[in-house]
Structure 1
Amino acid sequence: MSPGKLLRLPRIPPELTTGKMSMLRYIHILLAVLCLASGDARAGNSGDAGATPQPPPFGGPWDTRLKLTGDWGGVREQLRDHGFTFDISATAYYQGIARGGLEQDSELGGRSDYWLNVDGQKAGLWPGLFLTLHGEAVYGDSVNSETGAIVPVNIGRAHPVFFGTAGALTAVKFTQALSENFLVYAGKINTIDNVQQPFMPGHGLDAGFMNAAFVWNPILGRTMNYATLGAGAAILSQSYPVLSLTVYDTHNAATETGFKDAFDNGAIIYPTASLPTKFFGMPGHQSLWGVYSSGRYAIVEQQSLNQIPTGLPPTTLERGSWWVTYLFDQALWVDPTDQTRNWGVFGNAGISDGKPNPIQWSAIFGVGGSSPIRDRRQDYFGLAYYYLGFSGDFKDVARVITPVRDERGVEIFYNVGVTPWCHITPDLQVITPILGRTETSVVLGLRMKVDF
């Protein structure tokens, strides 16, 4: 294959110029024009930060405010002062397979996220009560099913459903702080919303890595679901959870209430422990996560987080499944004028039972975080690699239909903060997928997120 063909841009499908996709396309173009017209010289230049008064949380000039729609004539800040905070965003994705994969194609899709956070004390209830609602919608398409990989290359377009258009309320979470360092929570929980690992900004849905492997370890996919009923407790240190224990239902409830079949297939026990560190005088964490599920699973059963190859022969159900992961993150640079701006290394390694979990072991390593460039204070970057080792039991079942191999991939992105409310991210991924006869995929992508 010639270098020119290798580096060609994905084609634009003709269907994007007609029908509903045309409207979606024009909306995305309009938002892009708004972003680019605003520029970011003022937003990114920190030379006079000490002398310039900070604008109100939602106010200020339109190209430096935190949200595109501002403070809604003062209503937004009044609602916040009374305990109600609304966050609305829209994210557009354009990805194409420039080489390899099952099909060299390109797709345009998007998602919208709607958040309502309620502070119970400010709302006139009682201290320590918090309510979080997360609604989301996905539309358009993605190339997730065209790479041949088990891990989605666009996690933002993979949930709450892999295919089609859908809207869902994926989180209704009640939290009660019993002290400054101890809280309990219960409700319908969006598990990805709760992921906290530094140097992976935006949980992959809008600001950080697009590949699902770098949002959380794919080895979790056998037992964990995108959204499900659950309850638990956590001990905090400086607002970071150092110990937690959560009990989840085994069913994915992303597009349902979750009550119909709640806990009829057992429960998931999910403990975590994290130790804050200060190596080299820089912040970091050493963490352990683990799960035991009493549910019954088949090794080839579809998952809500990973894309198990379809058409595999059925297997018997196995009672119980477990996995353990070790995580670390370590800052290597911290902005002396703003401690929240930093970049560093991170890693994640896991092992599992290997049956019914098709992934026996996994390893992830990367570097990322805030841009160290002085005048790019709203930018982020990331470079990471993952490797998934599949169990012998899974390979034996799969090779009856198709040869499979261990999967690996690398991703690099640079997130440009055009304004505080608009981020544009070019992205490149190279994936050697699970399907043994499928060539390594080169996936080019562009993401734009607007906060309203």
Structure 2
Amino acid sequence: MLASAALWLMAAPIHAEGLLTGGVAPVVGDEVDPEATESTKPAPPPPATIQPASKLVRVHGVWSQFSELPLAGDAPNTLTYGGKLDGYIDIGGSAFGADNSITVHVRPEFRYGEDSNGLIGLIPSNTELFYPGDGEVFDLSLSVTKRWKSGVSLTVGKVNVLDLAEHLPVIGGGGHEGFQNLAMALPPSAVVPAKITGVLLDVPTKKVLYRFWVFDPAVQSRRSGLEDPFDRGVAFLGSVTFPVNLDGKHGYYAVKLAGSTRSAIADDALPAVLVPGPGSTFGQRKGEMSVVLAAYQNVAEYPEAPGKGWGLFGQVYISRGDPTFLDRSALFGISGNPRARPQDRFGIAWFRYSLTNKLVDALSARLALEDEEGVEAFYTLQVAKPLRVTASLQVVDSAIAARTTGVLGSLRVSTRF
């Protein structure tokens, strides 16, 4: 029985929606233009103003198609195809009798097809196709944002954290653009799920951006968030981001704290084979806490192509362990635009993630586990303004000790409308 579980984990995709993030971003629901936001400073939330009737409802979307093929390792050399369609509907307050400092965000998404998640590593290799279940999946998020003239914003509701990751400088994120592996597209923290229901407060000042979230620690995918709110406790994220200017180049340095009152392992975020059985000593301690130090620094900014350039990024994560299933991680990389083709984008990054030692010990009779380490490189070619094609190569030494190093090649075609 235990051997069968191990073989399933080694051969089948792992869909575990909550391996999540400590990522941050200033605006919920705003459209991201990959030509304008890859290397530049994110704009602060706009002040509350009266919008013309034609802009009371803004609708846009992005559709990405993926074809993936394991090139080396234990995974079968089978070509997969899948896709993700995301919609963004922002409704100004005056459309329903309020003022336009209030915006309602409606966020439908549809995933279809197959993927290679779980075939070469525990950390999903395709962020956009990482979802509970196989085949066709639909989800909907709904939130309301109030913005003040000072730039302070307050969002309440269900939020897709992947959307926020797209605003990160240098590294970008979210999976439609940039890196595809979750390790970089939405760096896992094991505390913050991919979709959260709660309250998000952003307070930008001239020198610092403060952020504080309070949310339900349970995974909110395919849920309204109102079924059994905060049944597993209360989670929070607080961060301070410092914009700097080094030799005329923009940089951003952040300290992030995340934790919860949860007193059990996040079993809704893991495949069953990684959840200790009854009687295990892991997952009995109440409360969890983690800290992230992150840096995003532009090295080159092209005066002939405003908003373009390239830079370095890095992140170090530490948690106190039990009941959090990750205790250490680090990533470092380079990303940006080639000067000869600033409309294109490239990136290469290394990552290493460590499962909590007590969890590894608790599962040792079932499955031998170790740290997971890997590298991803990508290049995005802009074929036309709405059409971008990305080639990605990932090399991963899996956390499953019995696996050999895996190599995954993929092609992504994305269009915005």
Task: Give the TM interval when normalised to the shorter protein.
Answer: 0.7 to 0.9
**Distance in 1 of aligned mates of 2:135 and 2:71:** 23
Report the alpha carbon displacement of residue 237 of structure 1 after superposing the two structures with TM. 4.5
Structure-2 residue corresponding to 1:395? 360
Taking the aligned partners of 1:424 and 1:307, their CA distance within structure 2 comes to 32
- Render the CA deviation track for 1:140-172: whole Å, top value 9, x for unaligned: 11111221x22100011003x353311110x31
Q: CA offsets per residue over residues 380-406 of structure 1, 9 Å max, x none?
A: 111000011232212212221121111
| Residue aligning to 1:91 | 64
Q: After alignment, is 185-194 or 275-284 more displaced?
A: 185-194
Q: Which whole-Å deviations, capped at 9, do the CAs of 1:310-347 have from their partners, x for residues lacking one?
A: 47544354321111100000001112134321210000
The residue type paired with residue 431 of structure 1 is: V
How far did 1:290 drift?
Answer: 1.0
Does the 8 Å contact 2:333/2:347 carry over to 1? yes
**Identical positions, percent:** 23
- Report the structure number with the largest CA radius of gyration: 1
**1:125 & 1:241 partners in 2: Cα distance?**
30
Tell whether the 8 Å contact from 1:82 to 1:123 is kept in structure 2 after alignment.
Answer: no
SS in 1 for 2:228: coil
2:184 to 214, 224, 227: 214
Residue pair 2:305, 2:342 contacting (<8 A) in 1 also? no
Please list every run of 5 or more consecutive structure 1 residues that lacks an aligned counterpart in the other structure. Answer: 1-43, 45-77
Determine if contact 1:90/1:450 at 8 Å carries over to the other structure. Answer: yes
**Contact 1:251 1:258 survives alignment (8 Å):** no
Instruction: Tell me the residue number matched to 1:235.
Output: 203
Structure 2 residue corresponding to 1:165, chosen from 136, 142, 149: 136
Check if 1:330 corresponds to 2:293.
no
TM-score (normalizing by structure 1):
0.76
Shift of 1:129: 1.3
Question: In the alignment, which residue of structure 1 is the partner of 2:128?
Answer: 156
Taking a change above 3 Å as real, the CA distance of residues 266 and 298 of structure 1, as seen in their structure-2 partners, is same
Q: Which residue identity lines up with residue 234 of structure 1 in the other structure?
A: D
> 1:53-92 to 2 correspondence within 5 Å?
81-92=54-65
Q: State the 1:227 CA deviation.
A: 1.3
Measure the CA separation in 2 of the matches of 1:325 and 1:183: 23
| 2: CA distance, partners of 1:224 / 1:108 | 29
CA distance in 2: counterparts of 1:291 and 1:243, whole angstroms: 14
Distance in 2 between residues matched to 1:132 and 1:280, nearest whole Å? 39
1:435 maps to amino acid: I
Give the 3-state SS of the residue equivalent to 1:200 in structure 2. coil
1:352 aligns with 2:296: no
1:440 aligned residue: 405
Residue number in structure 2 paired with 1:30: none
Name the CA distance, whole Å, in 2 between partners of 1:287 and 1:339: 24
- 1:104 aligned onto 2:46: no
Whether the aligned pair in 1 keeps the contact of 2:118 and 2:125 (CA below 8 Å) is no
| Whole-angstrom CA distance in 2 between matches of 1:194 and 1:162 | 24
Q: Is the 8 A contact 2:200 2:211 kept in 1?
A: yes
Please give the residue correspondences for 1:160-309 in structure 2 after superposition, counting only pairs within 5 Å: 161-169=132-140, 171-195=141-165, 196-201=167-172, 203-218=173-188, 220-221=189-190, 223-237=191-205, 242-298=209-265, 301-303=267-269, 309=273
Cα pair distance change 1:322/1:187, threshold 3 Å = same
Q: Is the 8 A contact 1:150 1:308 kept in 2?
A: no
Confirm or deny: 8 A CA contact 1:327 1:349 kept in the other structure.
yes
1:241 Cα offset (Å): 7.5
The structure whose RCO (Cα within 8 Å, separation 6+) is larger is: 2
- 1:28-65 per-residue CA deviation (whole Å, 9 max, x = no partner) reads xxxxxxxxxxxxxxxx9xxxxxxxxxxxxxxxxxxxxx
Structure-2 residue corresponding to 1:23:
none
* 1:410 is the counterpart of 2:375: yes
- Provide the residue aligned with 2:91 in structure 1: 118
**Alpha-carbon distance in 2 for matches of 1:180, 1:243:** 13
In 2, are the aligned partners of 1:102 and 1:438 still within 8 Å (CA)? Answer: no
Question: Relative to 1, partners in 2 of residues 1:80 and 1:386: Cα closer, same or farther, differing over 3 Å?
Answer: farther
TM-fit CA distance, 1:245: 0.7
Preserved CA contact (<8 Å) 2:73 2:407: yes
Q: Secondary structure at the match of 1:290?
A: strand
Taking the aligned partners of 1:387 and 1:80, their CA distance within structure 2 comes to 49
Q: Distance in 2 between matches of 1:180 and 1:84?
A: 23
Bigger proportion of residues as helix: 1
Give the counterpart letter for 2:260 in structure 1. S
Post-superposition, which runs of at least 4 consecutive aligned residues in structure 1 deviate over 4 A? 121-124, 306-312
Shift of 1:298: 2.4
TM-score calculated relative to the size of structure 2: 0.82
Alpha-carbon contact 2:56-2:95 (below 8 Å) kept: yes
Query: How far apart, in 1, do the equivalents of 2:324 and 2:390 lie?
Result: 33
- Contact 2:219–2:268 (CA<8 Å) still a contact in 1? no
Indicate conservation of the 8 Å contact 1:326/1:348, yes or no.
yes
Is 1:424 matched with 2:395? no
C-alpha contact (below 8 Å) 1:100/1:440 kept by paired residues = yes
Change (3 A) 1:412 1:283: same
